[in-house]
Amino acid sequence: MDSHGQDEQQVVWTVVDSDIGPLLLAATTEGLVNVVFHATEPVRDRALARLASRLGAEPVEAPGSPLLAEAIRQVEAYFAGERRDFRLPLDWSLISGFNRQVLRELASGVPYGTVVGYGDLADRVGQPGAAQAVGMAMGSNPLPVVVPCHRVVESDGGIGGFGGGLETKRRLLALEGVLPEPLF
């Protein structure tokens, strides 16, 4: 508790290496709250400043924290091809409303090795015709990889956009067997 009798938010983070580059993982006592692609120092610093602002607590680097241990294990197992789904407590506090509804459906309803169209995902949450809004929800996903926005593609077979970059999306889809491995 802080000096005003309020529970103080705790935010811990670390950077892990992966096949798609360094990933920043951040967690609270509620669960994993943020995954950030390409976590070089400048990207990491911006992400941590955003987290501090949004969550009201200064993130603390703590690679050995029990709050991060299982997330680190599962992310490493996923990239090693040993895990197909994530079973982690998630802190959804960085997202709300329609975006949260869409991301929760994505997390629970689009399994490893499959893809879904933006429009199909809109239909699943009872918002037919909201494909563009689903795209915006994917772009605001604070938990990419764990909440697999890379599995959302265009209805015409196009790969669609991706906040981590199209090459990252291709590599994740190749890891899951949806696309062939890149040649180089």
Which amino acids are annotated catalytic?
149
DSSP code string of the chain: --TTSPPPP--EEEEE--TTS-EEEEE-SSSEEEEESS--HHHHHHHHHHHHHHHSS--EE-TT-HHHHHHHHHHHHHHTT--SS----B--TT--HHHHHHHHHHHHHS-TT--EEHHHHHHHTT-TT-HHHHHHHHHT-SSTTTS-GGGEE-TTS-----TT-HHHHHHHHHHTTSSPPP--
